[in-house]
Amino acid sequence: MVVVGSGWHFLSGISYYTCRLSNALQERYDVGTILMRRLLPARLYPGRDRVGQPLSDLRYADDVRVFDGIDWWAVPSVRRATRFLREQQPDVLVLQWWTGAVLHSYLALALAARRLGIRVVVEFHEVQDTAELRHRWAARYVRAAIRPLLRRTSGVVVHSAYDRDALACAYDLAGVPAEIALHGPFDHHVVDTPRTPGPDGVCRLLYFGTIRPYKGLEDLIEAFGTLGPEYHLTVVGETWEGWTRPAELIASSPARDRITFVNRYVPDTEVNEYFAAADAVVLPYRRSSASGPLHIAMSHGLPVVVTSVGGLVEAAGPYPGTVFVPPAEPGELAAGIKSAAGLTGRRHADPSSWERTLDAYQRLFTRIGIDQESVTSSNQTAPLLSPDLR
């Protein structure tokens, strides 16, 4: 198979996911990867100042063949990607969907795949990016142009039942097989990381991730202002979409002296340091399909205060360190933080698994008529059992 997703040049959570998924699939299948190298003109990207910087330490497995990559202006990179696809001769092309910026390239790849007899699968991380939805022309473009892509799609993968239902409401996918593949663990940051002890009697809270309108950071700043001196908050994230309201609230907060604000996209070398120095992670999203920071927190075994929105309920529900709170309710958020303080001091087991993700893909491949033996990796040393026999 060939997986298509975000590359390292425009680094985001989908860059990490594409790599982790490709490496996981390689355990069972022969895998190639096509990276979306330059997503759009750099001046239009929220993280324009860091484009192209080597911030990630994650690497593709040696047996995963990588084409890097496709640029937004398409020519000649799409033609070269098509040649890579023809050389790999996969049974299935797996497209990671998260932004309309890749739509024209994905449509070109899907058309080429169908001409070559390759089935197309789309894995949806969300129906459409929230920033694109705010722009009427972008929302209309995606809704119109994605339909030819979906007509050439043999199956879809989503991260939750919530996303499956949202996708069904947005597009007519009647008759297209869909499988739920819960997000796998983001444990690549956890390499024998020792806990960093903090001051006695202090609960260290961490918010981690981009700062965007839907992330609800302003709710956390308001809630934190009502907490006592036994709490400290660290906010680590890059501002997107010009959303400076949280920064303004931090500057004027009565608890400003207990807030550390790191307003940038931190490299992998620093990620462990922030999670190792946290007692609990707070993710006050107002909406969300999935969350990379949630899975990093669970991989570290930390208590997580998270809002009960979208796909987060299914992702964090089985995790014993989860405290759910309603969205956009600073008072409830403060109460949830106090509850999470009682869960600190011990490591909670992360229930997520890439094996579970692979099982979902295997079920989908069976449903769309792909011969499992034809895509099984040469690295597979034991016979694969069907999902219902595991």
What does the pLDDT average to over 128-134? 76
Helix (H) / strand (E) containing 222: helix 217-224
Q: What is the pLDDT of residue 211?
A: 97
What does the pLDDT average to over 327-335? 98
What does the pLDDT average to over 40-62? 94
Helix (H) / strand (E) containing 127: none
Q: What is the pLDDT of residue 387?
A: 32
Q: What is the pLDDT of residue 158?
A: 97
Per-residue pLDDT reduced to its tens digit, 114-127: 999 999 999 999 88
Render 76-94 in DSSP notation, one character per residue.
THHHHHHHHHHHH--SEEE
Per-residue pLDDT reduced to its tens digit, 238-283: 999 999 999 999 999 999 999 999 999 999 989 999 999 999 999 9
Q: Which two tokens stand for residue 43?
A: 């001046």
Bridge partners, residue 282, by sequence:
305
| 379 confidence band (pLDDT: 50, 70, 90) | low
| 389 confidence band (pLDDT: 50, 70, 90) | very low
Q: Which residues contact 98 (CB under 8 A, 6 or more apart)?
A: 6, 14, 125, 126, 129
Per-residue pLDDT reduced to its tens digit, 342-353: 999 999 999 999
Average model confidence (pLDDT) across the chain: 92
Per-residue pLDDT reduced to its tens digit, 334-344: 999 999 999 99
Q: What is the pLDDT of residue 151?
A: 94
The answer to whether the bond into 76 is cis (omega within 30° of 0) is: yes
Q: What is the pLDDT of residue 192?
A: 67
List the beta strands (DSSP E) in the chain.
2-6, 32-38, 65-71, 92-97, 119-124, 155-158, 178-180, 203-208, 231-236, 259-262, 280-283, 304-307, 322-325
| 390 confidence band (pLDDT: 50, 70, 90) | very low
Per-residue pLDDT reduced to its tens digit, 288-321: 989 999 999 999 999 999 999 999 999 999 999 9
Q: What is the pLDDT of residue 132?
A: 78
Per-residue pLDDT reduced to its tens digit, 203-233: 999 999 999 999 999 999 999 999 999 999 9
Per-residue pLDDT reduced to its tens digit, 73-101: 999 999 999 999 999 999 999 999 999 99
Per-residue pLDDT reduced to its tens digit, 275-297: 999 999 999 999 998 999 999 99
Q: What is the pLDDT of residue 139?
A: 83
* Contact assessment for residue 298 and residue 348, using Cβ atoms and an 8 Å cutoff: yes
pTM confidence score: 0.93
Spatial separation of the C-alpha atoms in residues 301 and 309, rounded to whole Å: 21
What does the pLDDT average to over 154-172? 93
